[in-house]
Structure 1
Amino acid sequence: MHTLAFLDPGHFHAALTLRERNPSVNDEIMVYAPPGRELDDFLGLVDAFNKRAERPTGWRATVRAGERSLERLLDERRGDAVVLAGRNDRKMALARRLHDAGFAVLADKPWIVRPDAVSDVRHVLSGGAVAVEIMTGRHEITSIIAERLVADRDVFGEFEVDHVGGPEGRGDAPDMAPHTPQRSEHAGVAGRAPRPPLARTGTAGPAIRLTSIHHLEKVVNGAPLRRPPWYFDLRVQGDGLADIPTHLVAQAQRLLASRGRPTDRDLELVAARRWATPVPRALFHRVTGLDAFPVELRDHVDGDTLAYFSNAELSFRLRGVSVVVATRWDLTEPPGGGDAHSAVVRGTRSQLRIEQGPETGFRRRLFVEPRRDLSGVGAALSHALATWPAALSGISAVATPDGFELAIPDRLRTGHENHFPLVLDEFIRTIDGGAWPDDRAADTLAKYELLARAARRA
């Protein structure tokens, strides 16, 4: 059995790892953090899991509240694995201290907010105690299915070879910048960079295009999410290139890895840029509880608006395959909605497309769109579905005007918040398995080396 310790759990992802019980983890958890709202919010969410009507958990938190959290954790050693999900500016320095002391570490993304911190990433992934990144996308069902389809040459073919270029190019890249009303209304926000044209690709676009839209004001576990004020400080949280691209680059790596290609090498940066979401003071108050912007943010404040550089676009080549990833943060989650996501993966036989947004009821849908030989691709798809393991049984192909949509049973749609306990379980099994570092370590290091280069360029 393993005992988990939580060190300064300032981000709600820390608590989400405890959303379900784990048979290999003791119910008693250790928590080391200074007293205050961040600690209270963490304990409140864990308590909500314990008290829910269905599948209640039984976590018992032993709290060591006070300053010098790391030193007290190292002195007491009341656990063998540590979860880190809080301030990003010191995350990898903490991970390195824990790693060198023999603790296994499960750390939320992003691991770096400054390019020079990549040396700490390299250190903790070089061997010794296990160090794993919280990557929930590995457990999202449409991503899992897409990886299987890309691996099937009769369905997908080969990756399209195309040019991916910088801002001077041409192509079909979607505008991930804030919507036009926001741009015109807040055009004079202090500290806001001019918005250059998007990185463009060839006429048909890159082989892999991944986009996502998130929201600063949202609901988690049925309650409004409260964010710490430092979340809006780029020196602590990181900017748009540091955060969500960690998921999107990893998704591109998994797609290529499904073809048996090593994805820890040959990552070539092409272009990178970032831009701001204007955050009104009223929304900042609702999300953080503070009436005014902290003095630490004053360089990016103009009147009642904060320029939050949370948006980014990154284009690169991975083993010669062109990839564009883009992410944007909007203000408030739409009623009945949530995050939006889009993926287009272009093969020589078919194109895979994943859509999640208002037009899909914020439910991810996966399409297979043959580029030629409709009947041949359809037959190959039917054969593939019939041979997949029992865990994926019940998936079927439904004809659409452009090809096929995969109908996915509800039992396989577990939802984003439910992926965090799966990440924890995978982490525990990695500790028990003894084979470390593995391919994930090499891929994680390659990803952060790419993002460090992007940060320097942007």
Structure 2
Amino acid sequence: MFKCKAALLILAAFLFQNCDSPSESMDEAKEKAPIQIVTLDPGHFHAGLIHKSMYPEVDSTIHVYAPEGEELRDYLNRIAGYNEREEDPTAWNIEVYTGDDFLQEMIKEKAGNVMVVAGKNDRKIDYILSALENGMNVYADKPLVINPAGFQKLKRAFEIAEEKNLLFYDIMTERFEISTILQRELSMIPEVFGTLEQGTLEDPAITKESVHHFFKYVSGAPLVRPEWFFDTEVEGSGLVDVTTHLVDLVQWESFPGEALDTSDVTMLQAELLPTSLNYEQYQLVTGKTPSFSEGETLDVLANGEMNYTLKGVHAKVSVKWAYQAPEGTADTHYSIMRGTKANLIIRQGEEENYKPILYVKLLENQETALQKAINEDLQSAYPGISLTKLDNGEFRVEVPDSYSVGHEAHFAQVTENYLKFFKAGKMPDWEVPNMIVKYYTTTQAYEKAQ
């Protein structure tokens, strides 16, 4: 095991050395900022993305507890890149503890009051329970759980958080995508949207579909994924990972500000399908020699689709994974909300230059109401948005480039939201029940697919 305290412990060759610099006492740190982050076992690059920005409320020292290895090295190098960039560099200080007892040491030292965890999903809920039981708030990457057994632990975790008055929250970046925000806003204007349809199994009232790729670039560099990412017993299957975001958006848009219950969910259909990686593809995306032979493939159950009802409203959620996007293309997203007066459609294809764009298809002659909503009602919150009428009769919602900050920047937005909750000492009343319903939905889909 190893422990070192200094201003910065990010070395190109990852050579840990003993340091003589005295550490700042916890009392001194708390006087500077009310929030001290502890990062546990950062196995996913999302753990680093949280620190792409700095926050006045957060102490600049990050206490990291993790096993030695490539995942920790990647995390430290990512933060080093943020600290060393020319434009708006961060100034994070890192204190690292490595060893097989990293979890026990985190609990013993209690060097911070908020644990951040993003990594192996099969053990994440156990990390969360340990932190909560020992009085630490939790800010966790999705998914919190990947199967029904994990869901039972999750319910207990929320009970502990309530008993100890702790803030336990998952990172829902997609709520900060402007096209989704405006889809939600317009759905709440009856003069434009009417009310949400009930839909049917064949024609759901709300649909969320996304296509992702194993090989991609993050912060300008090729993303090397850990081997466990392709083990669905550790990462989770296509019904419980990215679908977490889409199920969250179904709830957030269909029943805004409303607390839901697991009894509101009826899972109708769910299926899992594989994406196959050949020898060369696996080697490129992991940087490792595959355990299977050339000419063979690894079939990853990464693709999932679920059809369910939420308070009687039919919803469809599907996620597909390919190895790599064709040149000139990218990840895509499609969504539709069907109202009695209009359909609100998000497309992210070639015509949109692979940026999510919101379209409005009016079903009645309410163009005046739509113009008023965009040009008057929503201008104070989203200045600069406008409408373009297309030849097919649909309206495209035009959004200034300043709103399109990208997926990585959404992590800072979610974190700022969490910090607001932290300072207020509470979250909206609907957040916790709806997190429970969200993971009930994904794990019910997983069980249905079996």
Deviation of 1:162 after TM superposition, in Å, equals 2.5
Superimposed CA distance per residue, residues 34-63 of structure 1 (whole angstroms, 9 cap, x where no aligned partner):
111100100111111111121111111111
- Give the share of equivalent positions with the same residue, in percent: 34
Deviation of 1:67 after TM superposition, in Å, equals 1.7
Match of 2:387 among 373, 377, 397: 397
Deviation of 1:348 after TM superposition, in Å, equals 1.0
Match of 2:93 among 23, 48, 60: 60
CA distance in 1: counterparts of 2:265 and 2:294, whole angstroms: 38
What residue is the counterpart of 1:455 in the other structure? 446
What residue is the counterpart of 1:433 in the other structure? 424
What residue is the counterpart of 1:193 in the other structure? none
- Which stretch has the larger CA shift, 280-289 or 381-390? 381-390
Q: Which has the higher contact order (CA 8 A, sep 6+)?
A: 1
What residue is the counterpart of 1:45 in the other structure? 78
What residue is the counterpart of 2:56 in the other structure? 23
Matched, 1:317 2:309: yes
Deviation of 1:437 after TM superposition, in Å, equals 7.3
1:129-140 matched pairs, under 5 angstroms: 129-140=166-177
Superimposed CA distance per residue, residues 124-145 of structure 1 (whole angstroms, 9 cap, x where no aligned partner):
2231311101110111111111
Matched, 1:269 2:267: yes
Q: Structure 1 residues 147 and 334 mapped into 2: Cα distance closer, same or farther (>3 Å)? A: same
- Which stretch has the larger CA shift, 340-349 or 114-123? 114-123
1:226-375 matched pairs, under 5 angstroms: 226-258=224-256, 261-265=258-262, 266-293=264-291, 303-373=295-365
CA distance in 1: counterparts of 2:343 and 2:181, whole angstroms: 16
- Provide the secondary structure at the position in 1 that maps to 2:234: helix
Contact 2:143 2:241 in 1 (8 A): yes
- Which stretch has the larger CA shift, 383-392 or 73-82? 383-392
Superimposed CA distance per residue, residues 397-442 of structure 1 (whole angstroms, 9 cap, x where no aligned partner):
1111222110000111111110011111212221221125731111
CA distance in 2: counterparts of 1:261 and 1:159, whole angstroms: 15
CA distance in 1: counterparts of 2:171 and 2:76, whole angstroms: 20
CA distance in 1: counterparts of 2:155 and 2:215, whole angstroms: 34
CA distance in 2: counterparts of 1:422 and 1:398, whole angstroms: 29
CA distance in 2: counterparts of 1:414 and 1:138, whole angstroms: 13
TM-score, normalised relative to structure 1: 0.87
CA distance in 1: counterparts of 2:394 and 2:349, whole angstroms: 20
Q: Structure 1 residues 434 and 447 mapped into 2: Cα distance closer, same or farther (>3 Å)? A: same
1:103-122 matched pairs, under 5 angstroms: 103-122=136-155
TM-score, normalised relative to structure 2: 0.88
User: One-letter code of the match for 1:84?
Assistant: V
Provide runs of 4+ in structure 1 moved above 6 Å.
Answer: none
Note the residue ranges of structure 2 that are not aligned, 5 or more in a row. 1-32
CA distance in 2: counterparts of 1:138 and 1:31, whole angstroms: 28
Deviation of 1:257 after TM superposition, in Å, equals 2.2
Deviation of 1:336 after TM superposition, in Å, equals 4.0
Superimposed CA distance per residue, residues 177-231 of structure 1 (whole angstroms, 9 cap, x where no aligned partner):
xxxxxxxxxxxxxxxxxxxxxxxx1xxx111011000000000000000111111
1:187-206 matched pairs, under 5 angstroms: 201=202, 205-206=203-204
CA distance in 1: counterparts of 2:156 and 2:400, whole angstroms: 42
CA distance in 2: counterparts of 1:350 and 1:158, whole angstroms: 9
Q: Structure 1 residues 353 and 56 mapped into 2: Cα distance closer, same or farther (>3 Å)? A: same
Count how many residue pairs are aligned between Structure 1 and Structure 2. 409
Deviation of 1:338 after TM superposition, in Å, equals 2.4
- Provide the secondary structure at the position in 2 that maps to 1:325: strand
CA distance in 1: counterparts of 2:81 and 2:63, whole angstroms: 18
- Provide the secondary structure at the position in 1 that maps to 2:58: coil
Contact 1:264 1:447 in 2 (8 A): no
- Which stretch has the larger CA shift, 111-120 or 228-237? 111-120
User: What is the RMSD computed on CA atoms of the aligned residues?
Assistant: 1.5
User: One-letter code of the match for 1:355?
Assistant: R
Matched, 1:144 2:135: no
Contact 1:5 1:29 in 2 (8 A): yes
Q: Structure 1 residues 389 and 395 mapped into 2: Cα distance closer, same or farther (>3 Å)? A: closer
CA distance in 2: counterparts of 1:264 and 1:384, whole angstroms: 32
CA distance in 2: counterparts of 1:306 and 1:316, whole angstroms: 30
CA distance in 2: counterparts of 1:3 and 1:412, whole angstroms: 30
Q: Structure 1 residues 403 and 250 mapped into 2: Cα distance closer, same or farther (>3 Å)? A: same
Superimposed CA distance per residue, residues 372-391 of structure 1 (whole angstroms, 9 cap, x where no aligned partner):
21xx2x21122212122534
Deviation of 1:86 after TM superposition, in Å, equals 0.5
CA distance in 1: counterparts of 2:381 and 2:59, whole angstroms: 28
What residue is the counterpart of 2:211 in the other structure? 213
- Provide the secondary structure at the position in 2 that maps to 1:456: helix
User: One-letter code of the match for 1:263?
Assistant: L
What residue is the counterpart of 1:89 in the other structure? 122
What residue is the counterpart of 1:159 in the other structure? 196
Deviation of 1:334 after TM superposition, in Å, equals 3.2
